[in-house]
Amino acid sequence: MPLDRRAFLSIASSLGIGVTSGLFPGALYALAAEPAAAGETEPKLRPVTPEMLEAAAALAGVTIAPEQRQLMLEGLNSQRDSYGEIRALHLPNSVAPALVFHPLPPGASLHTDRQPARFSRVTGEAAAPAKLEELAFLPVLELADLVRRKKVTSVALTEMYLDRLRRYDPLLRFVVTLCEERALNQAREADADLAKGHYRGPLHGLPWGAKDLLAVKGYPTTWGAGGFEHQQIDEDATVVQRLDAAGAVLIAKLTLGALAMGDVWFGGRTRNPWNPKQGSSGSSAGPASATAAGCVAFSIGSETLGSISSPSTRCGVTGLRPTFGFVPRTGAMALSWSMDKLGPICRGVEDCAVVLSAIYGPDQKDQSVQPAAFVWNAEQDWRSLRVGYLESAFAEPKATPDEQGGKEASAPLTEQEQKAAARRTAERSAADARRRYDHTYDVAALAKLRSMGVHLVPVELPKLPYEAMLPLLTAEAAAAFDDLTMTGRDKLLTAQGPYDWPNSFRVARFYPAVEYIQANRARTLVIAQLSRLFETVDVIVAPSGGEQLLATNLSGHPAVIVPNGLRGDDAPQGPRVDTGEDDSIGGPGTPVSLTFLAGHYQDARALLLARAYQQATGFEKKHPHLDV
């Protein structure tokens, strides 16, 4: 339903707000609107009245005297009329706000001296195996060595990965569009260049997959969303252009949860290769699942709030969420202009360093991108890094409080209420058991780091109201997809629950502009205080979920997410139904992860320590056995 007066008053009623006693100024547009006439998409607007203003003030939590309300009417009606003039511009998703977010605190300096990356040397001289699929799970540098030495052709690799994508897509649902013609043309070009002695570097000839929010000329860019299945954007995203220039071969556009939320897209739910009964988490659902299943050499995902971290954890792959402003987002779907980041999802840490080296840096279009240098030297001694750990985040998990307990004890329960209470208790106990089990992996990670000679310094996140700043994301997302809400096309999206985008966009329309600015001012404190933390340590080790995920996405700091082992046969079973609301639903044989954080544009430091941890553990070498 379009956001008309009837729908708005229905929402108000559900909140216990009367027609004359409860909505705030941002809602005046809806309250003053009559339903759109037949053949029209915009509702007809009525003048704002004192009664509407009284209702709006109540929900905003402000007191406005009757005489003050009368004074405001002319200004409010004029302001409200301006909305339509802006909407008449029909701003596409690609148009960013004039205000550009930069995460650096005052006084911070950037290292801008670009130097050639120094990657690890692959010393093996092995030939390609007789069965090419044995290469499916090799890391980037090992595949690159085979291609460089002409032991395997790009065309052969491309055909092998295309075959795997076709074979496992019916099970895992990770492909939106195969780019077969483009891929084979690129692969043939890569082989021809190599034959002429023109080698473009370690991504030359390697097949990769793009999250389907990256524009690719000549192919649909669906954003994973119903209503956009046939959308075509007549450009290649900057990241796609840069990977083309590096010689990489784009073979598929991979799934994302609709408009970058979760793992449910218009074609179904993308699955976890370790346990296909579970979703892959999201929103970089397809990139994580396809990489984990050995169906691409690497992939590109995006994160606004966990969209690289969560599926990397669920699927047991290595993800890099770069510093905000390191990688240009030109040609990528905008969800939140001040929080969106593009980054690689790979099998190993140094794979991520290879890919970031190819895609970072200004493109003169995305104004958020800084001229900071990414300097990777695999020979650098990681032992010189000062390492902290989030002490309280590694503490023994506490039992989840029973938020319904007081209500249930206050009056006798019906039989149905008793069953519901028992079900909540069982679900709460099961979730607590999973957290306690997974905590042993966190503790073991700290012990392993100490055994490597790492001196771990306890640190804590600044005490700030991070969750109260979350409406920044949804307000920007609602603006990015304003047309969906205002025309009622949001009903085409697959997911329609209380926490899915259609409802979140409607709720976000009632977030006052003043509060948006106040939350951004609070975000300045987050950036400043977290940045001071990285003056005392170079890298912070943290569990992959929890408060740090929100804090560092708000602050724009980088994160490297690495596999941290597989749950054993003694692991608590996951819930019978994966609702997509819990990223750590567990179950025997499924992966857990660990996160390494660093200062702004110090991504190489987090990668360096994460790589040392991978070399000491080898968890990234494990992969699912899909044919068993």
pTM: 0.91
Q: Average the pLDDT over each of 137-146, 383-392, 487-496 and give the range with the smallest value.
A: 487-496
Q: Is residue 25 part of a domain?
A: yes
Dihedral over alpha carbons 589, 207, 162, 158 (to 10 degrees): -130
Contact (CB, 8 A) for 106 and 530: no
Q: Which of 154, 280, 281, 283 is catalytic?
A: 283
Q: Is residue 77 part of a domain?
A: yes
Q: What's the confidence (pLDDT) of residue 7?
A: 41
The confidence band for 73, taking pLDDT boundaries of 50, 70 and 90, is confident
> Given a cut of 90, is residue 72 above it in pLDDT?
no
Q: What's the confidence (pLDDT) of residue 413?
A: 84
> Given a cut of 80, is residue 397 above it in pLDDT?
yes
- Average pLDDT of span 121-132: 84
- Average pLDDT of span 585-607: 97
Q: What's the confidence (pLDDT) of residue 82?
A: 81
Q: From the CB of residue 271, how many other CB atoms can be counted at a distance below 10 Å? A: 24
User: What percent of the chain lies above the pLDDT cut of 70?
Assistant: 91
Q: What's the confidence (pLDDT) of residue 472?
A: 96
Q: Average the pLDDT over each of 176-180, 203-207, 369-373, 399-403 and give the range with the smallest value.
A: 399-403
State yes or no: is 289 an active-site residue. no
The confidence band for 417, taking pLDDT boundaries of 50, 70 and 90, is confident
Largest CA distance in the chain: 85
The per-residue DSSP string of 75-114 comes to: HHHHHHHHHHHHHTT---TTPPPSS----PPTT-------
pLDDT digits (tens, 9 = 90+) for 246-301: 999 999 999 999 999 999 999 999 999 999 999 999 999 999 999 999 999 999 99
Query: Cα(102)–Cα(439) distance, rounded to whole angstroms?
Result: 35
Q: Is residue 74 part of a domain?
A: yes
Q: What's the confidence (pLDDT) of residue 19?
A: 34
Q: Which amino acid is at 397?
A: P
How does DSSP classify residue 599? S
Q: What's the confidence (pLDDT) of residue 116?
A: 94
Give the tokens for residue 418: 């008793």
State yes or no: is 283 an active-site residue. yes
Give the rounded distance of the alpha carbon of 342 from its chain centre.
9
pLDDT digits (tens, 9 = 90+) for 168-222: 999 999 999 999 999 999 999 999 999 999 999 999 999 999 999 999 999 999 9
- Average pLDDT of span 310-322: 98
User: Across all residues in the chain, what is the average pLDDT?
Assistant: 90
Q: What's the confidence (pLDDT) of residue 130?
A: 87
Q: What's the confidence (pLDDT) of residue 17?
A: 37
Q: Which of 154, 302, 307, 504 is catalytic?
A: 307
pLDDT digits (tens, 9 = 90+) for 334-357: 999 999 999 999 999 999 999 999
Nearest to 260 by CA among 291, 300, 305: 305
Give the tokens for residue 297: 């050499």
Q: Average the pLDDT over each of 13-17, 149-153, 430-434, 578-582 and give the range with the smallest value.
A: 13-17
The confidence band for 453, taking pLDDT boundaries of 50, 70 and 90, is very high
The confidence band for 6, taking pLDDT boundaries of 50, 70 and 90, is very low
Higher pLDDT, 529 or 411: 529
Domain holding 51, by residue range, is 1-90
Query: Cα(448)–Cα(452) distance, rounded to whole angstroms?
Result: 6
> Given a cut of 70, is residue 110 above it in pLDDT?
yes
> Given a cut of 80, is residue 26 above it in pLDDT?
no
Q: Is residue 388 part of a domain?
A: no
pLDDT digits (tens, 9 = 90+) for 537-558: 999 999 999 999 999 999 999 9
State yes or no: is 365 an active-site residue. no
Q: What's the confidence (pLDDT) of residue 38?
A: 56
Q: What's the confidence (pLDDT) of residue 361?
A: 98
Residue 551 CB partners (closer than 8 Å, separation 6+): 461, 462, 464, 466, 526, 530
Q: Which of 154, 211, 299, 555 is catalytic?
A: 211
> Given a cut of 50, is residue 11 above it in pLDDT?
no
Q: What's the confidence (pLDDT) of residue 125?
A: 76
Domain count, the chain: 1
Higher pLDDT, 372 or 495: 372
Q: Is residue 136 part of a domain?
A: no
Mode of pairing for the β-strands spanning 44-45 and 539-542: unpaired
Contact (CB, 8 A) for 542 and 572: no
Q: Is residue 536 part of a domain?
A: no
pLDDT digits (tens, 9 = 90+) for 260-270: 999 999 999 99
Q: Average the pLDDT over each of 323-327, 390-394, 399-403, 448-452 and give the range with the smallest value.
A: 399-403
